[in-house]
A = this chain, B = another copy of it.
Amino acid sequence: MVDAALADPAPLFSPLYQQIKTLLMRSLQAGDWKPGEVIPSEIELAARFKVSQGTVRKAIDELAAENRLVRRQGRGTFVATHAEATTRYRFLRLTPDAGAGATLQRRLIDCRRMRAPPDIASALGLGPGEAALQLRRLLLDEERPVVFDDIWLPAPLFKGLTTEKLSGYRGPMYGLFETEFGLHMIRAEEKIRAVAAGAEEAQWLAQPEGAPLLSVERLSFTYGDKPVELRRGLYQTDHHHYRNELS
Q: What residues of chain A have their CB less than 8 Å away from a CB belonging to chain B?
A: 65-67, 90-91, 93, 186-196, 210-215, 218, 235, 237, 241-247
Contacts and interface: CB of A to CB of B under 8 A. Distances in A.
A212 B189 contact: no
A190 B93 CA distance: 11
B247 A192 contact: no
18 contacts: A93-B244, A187-B247, A188-B246, A189-B244, A190-B243, A190-B245, A190-B246, A191-B242, A192-B192, A194-B195, A194-B212, A194-B215, A194-B235, A196-B211, A210-B210, A212-B212, A214-B214, A218-B246
Given A66-B247, A91-B246, A244-B244, A212 B196 contact: yes
A194 B191 contact: no
The 4 A-B residue pairs with the shortest CB-CB distance, nearest first, are: A212-B212, A194-B212, A193-B237, A192-B242
Given A195-B212, A196-B212, A213-B194, A187 B246 contact: yes
A45 to B, nearest CB: 21
Given A190-B244, A192-B237, A194-B235, 4 more contacts: A91-B246, A194-B237, A210-B210, A244-B244
Given A210-B210, A212-B212, A212-B213, A243 B191 contact: yes
